[in-house]
């Protein structure tokens, strides 16, 4: 038998969300009336055009003439071209700077394989737990430095005062639901230039942005193409959480400190470790860029954002201190009466409401809880009534 990869033992014993799930399951044995406002997953059916195009693509597999075997590891150009023409119009991105992948989880977790184990990594606190876990598995537990997101700083990451090599920024951030100002992002780009650091920009919630003082793509900010990789997902934007499709942008000019092209490295990496995603899924993703697709997914996004608005205003009216909910479907709520996030979670569960304790997203998530607008309006209204 081989020995275990000891880095895996450095992860928290049980994945946090499993712990929450267990408590919810226990509650479900007592009541059928659980009001789930904790979900980070879609609740609305997919846009009809996605299903239609996926079926059509599956039908192509019936004929020798249209059959598809292995596809390109980095994705089909029909999808890349649509991404370029729609998401990166006028942003000077080239087609071979786009890599289609399964969910963003895959790319976020694996991209750190490209870099030296000694790289110093900056990760916001609180944020999506995957960035830290992936780097711990990669042997960088001691090289992780947390960038505090504080209430008094509108939950924007303050600049670090020493050199980092790799920085994960997520805007709009999960769980705070807040997107960073153009100035805050510009400061980080300047920092990355000064210290020759690489930014990995997670734009999973880009489709929900409505504020004017922010950007959807980091490449809208001057200088980003020299220092930033951007990742986006079709999961929340178009309901692909089960279908799995996302993409990574890696500008060709970005090199590691020892002068290796990151674009070429990633190409080599996915050729070995990843065989691309299925043709029907890529056809389904392409469909969201048609006029019909755009209008259908916009309608679904509006539904989530209307729900989120009801949640945000409802909580505010009940006297809670709340943040986010404008550029993402998440509302970041301060726990009342100095309760810990787990204590507040338990109190809510007594009222049949599920939300996610902030501590699950980092130490500085303590004292907050995340409510999600990925829910039905009736569920939200009932939860507000119970509160």
> Which chain residues interact with ligand PLP by CB under 6 A?
40, 103-105, 128, 170, 174, 202, 204, 233, 235, 241, 246
Q: Which two tokens stand for residue 237?
A: 């934007």
CB of 40 or CB of 314, closer to ligand PLP: 40
CB of 115 or CB of 208, closer to ligand PLP: 208
Q: Which two tokens stand for residue 59?
A: 């039908």
CB of 73 or CB of 246, closer to ligand PLP: 246
Instruction: Kindly give the interhelix angle for 104-111 and 130-137, rounded to the nearest 10 degrees.
Output: 40
The nearest distance, CB 337 to ligand PLP, in angstroms, is: 29
The nearest distance, CB 170 to ligand PLP, in angstroms, is: 5
Pairing of strands 228-233, 246-249: antiparallel
The nearest distance, CB 329 to ligand PLP, in angstroms, is: 10
The nearest distance, CB 343 to ligand PLP, in angstroms, is: 25
The nearest distance, CB 231 to ligand PLP, in angstroms, is: 7
Q: Are 79 and 325 in contact (CB under 8 A)?
A: no
CB of 44 or CB of 226, closer to ligand PLP: 44
Q: Which two tokens stand for residue 213?
A: 């003082």
CB of 54 or CB of 200, closer to ligand PLP: 200
CB of 241 or CB of 347, closer to ligand PLP: 241
* Dihedral of the alpha carbons of 53, 56, 61, 63, in degrees to the nearest 10: -150
The nearest distance, CB 4 to ligand PLP, in angstroms, is: 26
CB of 88 or CB of 374, closer to ligand PLP: 374
Pairing of strands 322-324, 330-334: antiparallel
The nearest distance, CB 241 to ligand PLP, in angstroms, is: 5
Which single residue is written with the structure tokens 């006029």?
A: 291
CB of 204 or CB of 227, closer to ligand PLP: 204
The residues near 202 (Cβ < 8 Å, ≥ 6 apart) are: 104, 108, 128, 168, 169, 170, 171, 231
The nearest distance, CB 173 to ligand PLP, in angstroms, is: 7
CB of 169 or CB of 315, closer to ligand PLP: 169
The nearest distance, CB 109 to ligand PLP, in angstroms, is: 9
The nearest distance, CB 339 to ligand PLP, in angstroms, is: 25
CB of 235 or CB of 263, closer to ligand PLP: 235
């Amino acid at each position: 038998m081989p020995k275990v990869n000891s880095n895996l033992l450095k992860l928290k014993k049980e994945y946090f969300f499993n712990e929450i799930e267990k408590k919810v399951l226990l509650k479900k044995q007592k009541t059928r009336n659980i009001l789930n406002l904790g979900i980070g997953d879609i609740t609305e059916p997919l846009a009809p055009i996605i299903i239609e195009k996926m079926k059509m693509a599956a039908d192509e597999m019936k004929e020798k003439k249209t059959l598809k075997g292995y596809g390109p590891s980095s994705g089909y150009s029909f999808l890349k071209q649509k991404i370029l023409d729609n998401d990166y119009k006028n942003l000077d991105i080239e087609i071979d700077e786009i890599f289609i992948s399964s969910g963003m989880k895959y790319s976020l977790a694996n991209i750190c394989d490209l870099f030296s184990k000694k790289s110093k990594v900056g990760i916001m606190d609180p944020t999506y737990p995957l960035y830290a876990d992936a780097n711990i598995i990669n042997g960088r537990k001691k090289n992780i430095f947390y960038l505090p997101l504080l209430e008094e700083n509108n939950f924007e990451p303050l600049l670090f005062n020493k050199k980092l090599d790799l920085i994960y920024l997520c805007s709009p951030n999960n769980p705070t639901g807040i997107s960073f100002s153009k100035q805050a992002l510009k400061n980080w780009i300047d920092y990355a230039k000064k210290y020759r650091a690489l930014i990995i920009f997670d734009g999973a919630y880009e489709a929900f942005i409505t504020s004017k003082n922010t950007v959807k793509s980091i490449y809208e900010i001057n200088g980003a193409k020299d220092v930033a990789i951007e990742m986006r997902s079709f999961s929340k934007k178009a309901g692909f959480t089960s279908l799995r499709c996302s993409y990574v942008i890696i500008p060709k000019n970005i090199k590691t400190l020892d002068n290796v092209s990151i674009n070429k490295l990633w190409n080599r990496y996915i050729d070995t470790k990843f065989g691309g995603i299925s043709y029907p899924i890529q056809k389904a993703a392409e469909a969201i860029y048609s006029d019909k697709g755009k209008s259908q997914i916009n309608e679904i996004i509006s539904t989530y954002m209307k729900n989120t608005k009801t949640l945000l205003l409802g909580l505010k009216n009940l006297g809670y201190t709340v943040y986010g909910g404008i550029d993402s479907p998440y509302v970041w709520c301060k726990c009342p009466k100095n309760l810990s996030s787990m204590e507040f979670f338990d109190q809510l569960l007594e009222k049949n409401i599920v939300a996610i304790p902030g501590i699950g997203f980092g130490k500085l998530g303590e004292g907050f809880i995340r409510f999600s607008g990925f829910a039905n309006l009736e569920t939200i209204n009932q939860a507000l009534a119970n509160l």
